[in-house]
Amino acid sequence: MQFLRRFLQNRDGNVLIVSALVLPLLIGMAALVTEYGGALVERADNQRVADLSAYAGALAYNKNQSTDQMTATAVSVAVLNGVPAGNVQVSLVASPKTAGVNAVSVSINTYKTLLLARVMSDRQQLQIYANSVAEIGAKPQTPGCMLALDGTQTGITLSGGTSISAPKCTVSSNNTVTVPCGTSISAIGVNYNSAAAPSQPCNGITGPGGAAAVITKTSTPDPLAGNSAVTAAVARFSTVAAMSAATAPAAPTNTTGTNIDFAWDQTATTNAAIAAGCTASWSQPTWTFSCGSKTTVNLGTVTIGGGINLNFATSGAATTVYNFAGDFTTSATTNFGPGTYNFAKTLTTAGTTTFGAGTYNIGKQVTTAGTTTFGAGAFNFTKGLTTGGGGTTTFGAGTFKFGMSDNTCGGTARVSLCNTSTLTFGGPSTFELGGGLNNTGGSTITFGSGTSNSYKIGPGGNGDAITLGGGSKTVMADATSSGVFQVVGNVNGGGGGSCFVIPATAQHDVEGNFIASGAVLLGAGVYTIDGYFALGGSGGGSASCGGSTISVSGTNVTLVLSGKAKSNSGSCSGYVFCVAAGYSNIVLTAPQTGATAKLAVIGPTSTSVTAGATFAEGGSNAQISGAFYFPYGPIIMNGGSSVLGSASDTSKCLQMIGSRITLSGGTAAASECIAASSSSASSKVSLVQ
């Protein structure tokens, strides 16, 4: 007992014991002050960097709607402030403050190695986390690139594996948005205005790069309502409706004259020429007919015997006027000198016939066969021109005014120009075909050359102004200098495998419908079509045209459609704009500048016309750049069709606006072309978290 009492009363070594007990506490306090205190300082610095990075990233995204640029900018700011790029995470999120607004979130994670704190814990590192969220001021409904306007229709509906890619704009509906499994929408925002939120059972709506989608319940106005360019383009319909077809040129006066038979009987022919005040000389098998310096030569019926050649007025003056009272038919080899030729009745060529430069006024039908060549001049054919099968007919540059024939072309309808062979008009030339033209199957017409041509084409007997047969080729030289392109009647390119090259000119006016089954190369300019535009409703598709295989191609083109009539053919039936029947790889690019800049297709803007547009039956890979606008009609894509903007060319865009938009089995890549005149995207950026 004394031993224990002495041990308890002994004070030797107490300091060491107390020190051993207190030392871990002292080390922990030092760790708290030094290591954890330093971490708090580093966290404050990380927060400062996160704020700067989020703000910079939001500014970058607000400028160009690019998540890549947003991320690159935010990371660059962090690196400049000493934070390794691998420690920075950037994402586009819904704002935690304002509903329906995007924000940029930046998170920074750094790690501090622990030394003193290990005495009290086995923890090796301390994670230092900072996060900042910068709200982007622009509302998701601006800009907008795909919009279903009508609140009583089905809004935007996807099916059959369809996808919409709109990484820089919103997809909006004033009613529902339906995105079933197997379909998707990727956009910076999706707006709807129905009682129920968008239907997406498989979460098919995402933001760019897989970010969370910004989905907002809001009404979206028509961004092109009241647009001055649209209003001006539509106003042109009154001018087009007032157009009238060119009248037929007057027939020359039927004068009496001397009959001449260029025959093997030399005496009779010589005497007849003398009676007409001219001479005829014979060198078998050729007659040479000359009237010297006479100013007017009146002839009756002129005939040429079989196998006989005729050199007619080869030495006559260019000012001489030749009047023919009867029908005239060439044979073998016939050459006409310069002058003015008035044929009161028909002119029919055969063999090889050459006409000099001059003026040709013909009261009845002109029919060419064999090889026929006209020099430059003025050509007034009261009853039109018909070319024979297998022949070649060539005209120099000039003015061509053709009335309607009394005979049908290929048994279908009467026209001013019926071509069944190869026909070429030099240029620059002016064409007035009051009764239309028919380029029959397998035939070729080349109208003019250069840029100063002009076209006025009226309706044929069946209402079609331009009729193109299967496998035909029709090329019209440009009218950009001073000419026009005016068509009264339908453009009916109904023949599969045909090629139709339309001239470039500022304004193309068509008082009728535009129908095609072959390849069409649209020259630059505005096309005001007082009817409908249908491709492939009756079959057809791509063909060689303009040096390459195309279906429909047009650069710097705007189509303006009244919808006064609707297609009644095949899958195009009931629509104002239709692409069908294998019309793949369509290229339609709106002008970048000018009165209709960024406007590709303007559909009916009258509330009374509710017919819309369709891409059907494999009308795939349409590359349309510009606003595609049908405010009162639906836009429907199905049958594997697709409409694509350009990912590589930022100058191109696709903005779809319809009463409703239904997509099935196709792809649409959309971007904004034209913003509402009253809208302006805010550049305001603010830190909200």
- 3-class secondary-structure state, position 451: coil
* Distance between CA atoms of residues 107 and 64, nearest Å: 22
**DSSP state string for 485-509:** EEEESEEEE-STT-EEEPPP-SEEE
* Distance between CA atoms of residues 492 and 513, nearest Å: 8
Range(s) of the domain holding residue 60? 2-136
419-440 pLDDT per residue, tens: 999 999 999 999 999 999 999 9
**pLDDT at residue 141, as a whole number:** 47
* Distance between CA atoms of residues 447 and 456, nearest Å: 12
Residue 616, judged by CB atoms within 10 A of its CB (0-12, 13-18, 19+), counts as: buried
Give the pLDDT band (50/70/90) at residue 286.
very high
* Residue listed under structure tokens 């429907």: 636
CB 298 within 8 A of CB 316: no
HEC string of 49-60?
HHHHHHHHHHHH
According to DSSP H, which parts of 242-297 are helical? 266-275
| Residue 83, in any domain of the structure | yes
**pLDDT at residue 125, as a whole number:** 67
* 676 has a pLDDT exceeding 80: no
Per-state percent for the chain, helix, strand, coil, to nearest 5: 15, 40, 45
Structure tokens at 374: 């006209």
For the segment 335-343, the average pLDDT, to the nearest whole number, is: 94
The sign one gets for the Cα dihedral 570, 571, 574, 578 is negative
584-624 pLDDT per residue, tens: 778 899 999 999 999 999 999 999 999 999 987 655 667 88
**pLDDT at residue 140, as a whole number:** 45
**pLDDT at residue 517, as a whole number:** 85
Asked if the bond preceding 428 is cis, omega within 30° of 0, the reply is yes
* 455 has a pLDDT exceeding 50: yes
* 275 has a pLDDT exceeding 60: yes
- 552-555 and 519-522 beta bridge pairing: parallel
* 307 has a pLDDT exceeding 70: yes
**pLDDT at residue 495, as a whole number:** 75
* Distance between CA atoms of residues 365 and 490, nearest Å: 24
Residue type at position 144 = G
Helix axes 37-64, 67-80, angle to 10 degrees: 150
Structure tokens at 109: 């994670």
* 2 alpha carbon, distance to own chain's centre: 113
CB 611 within 8 A of CB 572: no
Q: For 592, which DSSP code?
A: S
**pLDDT at residue 558, as a whole number:** 98
21-79 pLDDT per residue, tens: 545 554 555 544 556 666 777 888 889 999 999 999 988 887 777 788 899 999 999 99
397-414 pLDDT per residue, tens: 999 999 999 999 988 899
CB 172 within 8 A of CB 677: no
490-518 pLDDT per residue, tens: 999 877 889 999 999 999 999 999 998 88
| Residue 562, in any domain of the structure | no
* Distance between CA atoms of residues 662 and 651, nearest Å: 26
* 3 has a pLDDT exceeding 60: no
CB 598 within 8 A of CB 590: yes
User: Percent of the chain, pLDDT > 70?
Assistant: 86
Give the pLDDT band (50/70/90) at residue 123.
low
CB 346 within 8 A of CB 330: no
Instruction: List strand residue ranges (DSSP E) for 551-660, in order.
Output: 552-555, 557-561, 577-579, 587-589, 599-602, 613-615, 622-630, 635-637, 643-644, 654-658
- 3-class secondary-structure state, position 157: strand
* Distance between CA atoms of residues 499 and 569, nearest Å: 21
197-224 pLDDT per residue, tens: 999 999 999 988 788 878 989 899 999 9
Instruction: Name 438's bridge partners.
Output: 418, 467
**pLDDT at residue 646, as a whole number:** 52
146-194 pLDDT per residue, tens: 999 999 999 999 998 888 888 888 999 999 999 999 999 999 889 999 9
* 133 has a pLDDT exceeding 70: yes
For the segment 365-387, the average pLDDT, to the nearest whole number, is: 97
* Distance between CA atoms of residues 384 and 416, nearest Å: 4
For the segment 134-138, the average pLDDT, to the nearest whole number, is: 76
* 115 has a pLDDT exceeding 60: no
| Residue 67, in any domain of the structure | yes
| Residue 450, in any domain of the structure | no
- 490-493 and 514-516 beta bridge pairing: parallel
232-256 pLDDT per residue, tens: 999 999 999 999 999 999 999 888 8
Summary mean pLDDT of the chain: 87
Count, residues in the chain:
689
| Residue 493, in any domain of the structure | no
| Residue 663, in any domain of the structure | no
User: What's the domain count of the chain?
Assistant: 1
| Residue 303, in any domain of the structure | no
Give the pTM: 0.81
Residue type at position 370 = G
* 325 has a pLDDT exceeding 50: yes
Structure tokens at 169: 């704009």
| Residue 290, in any domain of the structure | no
Phi, psi of 244 (to 5 degrees): -130, 155
